[in-house]
Amino acid sequence: MTKKIFIHLIAVLISTSSYCQTSAEWQSDLRQLQQIVHTKYSNLFYNITDANWDKAVDVFYNEIPGLKNDGVLAGFIKLVALFHIGHTQINSFGLHHGASSLQLNRLPYQLYWFNDGVYILSAAKKYEQAVGGKVIKIGKLKTEDALAAIRPLVSFENEQGFKSNSMFFLATPEFLKTQGISETSSEVSITYLKDGKEETVLVNAEAGINGFSMTGLETAAGWAVAKRTTSNIPLWQKEPASFRFMEFLPERKTLYVRHSVNLNDGDKTIAAFFTNMAGFIEKNDVQKLVLDIRTNGGGNNQLNKPMITSIIRSVKINQKGKFFCIIGRRTFSAAQNLVNELEKYTEVTFIGEPTSENVNFYGDTRTETLNNSKLQANLSWMWWQNLDPRDRRKATSPELAVDMSFDDYYNNEDPALKAIFNYENEKPIAQILADKITAGDKAGAIHFAVEYKKDPRRRYVADRLEAEINREGYNKLQSKHIDIANALFEINTKVFPESANAYDSYAECLMAMGKKEEALKNYQIAIDKDKDGVTAENAKKMIEKIKNN
């Protein structure tokens, strides 16, 4: 089964001013959608219960008679967004291509959420004076309030997905109106800060603006862009229309590869591209490989194999500290499958921002068309499980967190690539801790772990840090290095004092050492922190076992 193409954030939503449909017809469509979900897509009740979703359906059903068409469309989008499955959404892109007479306008600007705020990245030439401005206010609301107001419309799986997708909705005037951000759907005022001055510009909505971006890098023809200069574009933005791009940096002995779409580019196949990449690495003095998929929104995951095998075969580059992958908020769908396979089969180091997809996720969609409105709902049905079925991570997090400021973008700087150039090949933290413990410096190991967790460069790895220490503890326990294992488990309770699992593992090691009273004490702590969860259940069984022996 091949994965249906799903490019993150390419949907083009459209305007409902000329749409004629009665409230009863809208309500009939709503009940049809509800029945379809329950009979064919019960898997969607993954992040929300069926009862809670049905309550939301009933509330919306009663609201429909008092809503205009834009409000009804927004209501349908909100209902589907409640599933928080990134692929699952109302197919507004299909509507744009004539599936019905619905039509939404667009505001002729592109926004981006940098680490220092939301900025106007590009805009139609007549709004050039605002390009590069930090958005302070949209319509009636401050930027942060506008983001909160638009949130219910956005299909996303984690905050990275929201960061990426919300920018699109903030450029849709009808939804700015339905969400109480602006008074009208024909124009919106934007207050921005630029060169130390606050200015306000009135932006008129336009029809026929195509928001589609295959690589996530293209800019609409004729629009002004927020760049100090266009003569020194960073590697990740070069050849924006090309699905893939490769350049060797001889002074760094680094091969940079941007892979922006998991599709063949006409007769330029993924297999041929990565075969050429592997050949170049073999024939040249390449010491580092950088695979950049920060803008890759998906495609066909069946095309991932030649990428993985090419990297695995390049033995001189498939080493820790030599192979890096830049990920980010647009890394989604088939690109997430690729990330999973890289994590599983290669010695990759991830740099950048977390991905916008869960590591295991519901992907491929079927399109369901509602009888009256002809609204199309893309509903996910296939579960993609590349990694452990118990792995509930909301995203793949980078080992080194690197995000971008507006100044970085404006000045053509790439902080992710800089971090790679400055990267020092470090031992895994679990090994560092084990080495310190072996040397008799348990206090130093605890201090190192605590500071490691505080390090802003490591801010996204907290979800993996506990598991890494825990795993190394069990490795030492099984190899009979019980004192080292005990110290590792104890460190986990210090670094993650609210984790029931940390205390449960520590108690298991204490029991193996014959320290029953201490084991009982820590099993009880695990119970207190987990209450009726799986860890508490195990701890209760172990307490019973200890008391009966």
Residue among 76, 103, 99 nearest 18 (CA)? 103
CA–CA–CA angle 207, 210, 215 (5° rounding): 165
Predicted local confidence at residue 96, as pLDDT: 39
Predicted local confidence at residue 461, as pLDDT: 76
CATH code, domain carrying 125 = 2.30.42.10
Pair of tokens at residue 109: 């600007």
pLDDT tens sequence across 294-304:
999 999 999 99
What DSSP state is assigned to residue 265?
Answer: B
Same domain? 407 vs 433 = no
Predicted local confidence at residue 180, as pLDDT: 97
Q: Is residue 407 part of a domain?
A: yes
3-class SS string, 467-527: HHHHHHHHHHHHCCCHHHHHHHHHHHHHHCCCCHHHHHHHHHHHHHCCCHHHHHHHHHHHH
Please name the residue that has the structure tokens 């099993």: 523
Q: Is residue 172 part of a domain?
A: yes
The helix/strand/coil state of 203 is strand
Q: Is residue 122 part of a domain?
A: yes
CATH code, domain carrying 268 = 3.90.226.10
**pLDDT greater than 70 at residue 9:** no
Instruction: Report residue 194's pLDDT band, with 50, 70 and 90 as the boundaries.
Output: very high
Indicate the residue among 154, 177, 210 that finishes a domain: 210
pLDDT tens sequence across 283-329:
999 999 999 999 999 999 999 999 999 999 999 999 999 999 999 99
Distance CA 58, CA 435 (A): 59
Same domain? 438 vs 405 = no
345 sits in which H/E element: helix 334-345
Same domain? 204 vs 281 = no
Same domain? 413 vs 436 = no
pLDDT, average across residues 514-525:
94
Predicted local confidence at residue 12, as pLDDT: 34
pLDDT, average across residues 511-527:
94
CATH code, domain carrying 458 = 1.25.40.10
Distance CA 455, CA 14 (A): 44
Q: Is residue 382 part of a domain?
A: no
Classify each residue of 506-543 as buried b or exposed e, where b means 16 or more C-beta atoms within 10 Å of its C-beta: bbbbbbeeeeeebbbebbbbbbebbeeeebbebbbebb
Same domain? 402 vs 447 = no
Q: Is residue 364 part of a domain?
A: no
pLDDT > 70 in the chain, percent: 93
Distance CA 149, CA 437 (A): 50
| Span of 1-5, 202-206, 249-253 with lowest mean pLDDT | 1-5
Predicted local confidence at residue 364, as pLDDT: 92
**pLDDT greater than 90 at residue 463:** no
Predicted local confidence at residue 405, as pLDDT: 97
Predicted local confidence at residue 5, as pLDDT: 44
Q: Is 14 or 473 the better-scoring residue by pLDDT?
A: 473
- Provide CB contacts within 8 A for 154, sequence distance 6+: 81, 161, 162, 165, 166, 169
Same domain? 170 vs 311 = no
Predicted local confidence at residue 430, as pLDDT: 86
pLDDT tens sequence across 203-218:
999 876 766 677 778 7
pLDDT > 90 in the chain, percent: 80
Please name the residue that has the structure tokens 């017809």: 25
Residue among 328, 318, 329, 288 nearest 423 (CA)? 288
Q: Is residue 372 part of a domain?
A: no
Considering the chain, what is the average pLDDT of its residues? 91
What is the number of other CB atoms lying within 10 angstroms of the CB of residue 167?
20
Same domain? 406 vs 439 = no
Number of structural domains, the chain? 3
| pLDDT winner (highest mean) among 152-156, 390-394, 425-429 | 152-156
pLDDT tens sequence across 89-119:
997 654 433 444 567 888 999 999 999 999 9
Predicted local confidence at residue 95, as pLDDT: 46
Contact 320, 350 (CB under 8 A): no
Contact 106, 205 (CB under 8 A): yes
Distance CA 250, CA 370 (A): 57
Between the CA of residue 111 and those of 138, 165, 268, 475, what are the distances in Å?
Answer: 12, 11, 31, 48
Q: Which amino acid is present at 250? A: P
**pLDDT greater than 80 at residue 18:** no
Same domain? 155 vs 117 = yes
What is the number of other CB atoms lying within 10 angstroms of the CB of residue 497?
11
Q: Which amino acid is present at 78? A: K
Predicted local confidence at residue 424, as pLDDT: 80
Q: Is residue 472 part of a domain?
A: yes
Indicate the residue among 375, 401, 419 that finishes a domain: 419
Sheet containing strand 244-249, edge to edge, reads 244-249, 254-259, 288-292, 323-327, 349-352, 400-401
Contact 293, 259 (CB under 8 A): yes
Please give the backbone phi and psi of residue 366, each rounded to the nearest 5 degrees, phi first: -115, 150
| Span of 383-392, 411-420, 513-522 with lowest mean pLDDT | 383-392
pLDDT, average across residues 467-472:
90
Contact 139, 199 (CB under 8 A): no
Same domain? 287 vs 400 = yes
Q: Is residue 13 part of a domain?
A: no
Domain range holding 333? 235-358+393-419
Same domain? 268 vs 402 = yes
Between the CA of residue 84 and those of 56, 234, 509, what are the distances in Å?
Answer: 14, 34, 39
**pLDDT greater than 50 at residue 454:** yes
Q: Which amino acid is present at 408? A: D
Check the CA dihedral 3-334-79-181 and report its sign. Answer: negative
Same domain? 467 vs 539 = yes
Predicted local confidence at residue 453, as pLDDT: 86
- Provide CB contacts within 8 A for 538, sequence distance 6+: 504
Predicted local confidence at residue 283, as pLDDT: 96
Same domain? 465 vs 544 = yes
Instruction: Report residue 490's pLDDT band, with 50, 70 and 90 as the boundaries.
Output: very high
Check the CA dihedral 511-516-521-524 and report its sign. Answer: positive
The helix/strand/coil state of 437 is helix
pLDDT tens sequence across 132-156:
999 999 999 999 999 999 999 999 9
Predicted local confidence at residue 102, as pLDDT: 64
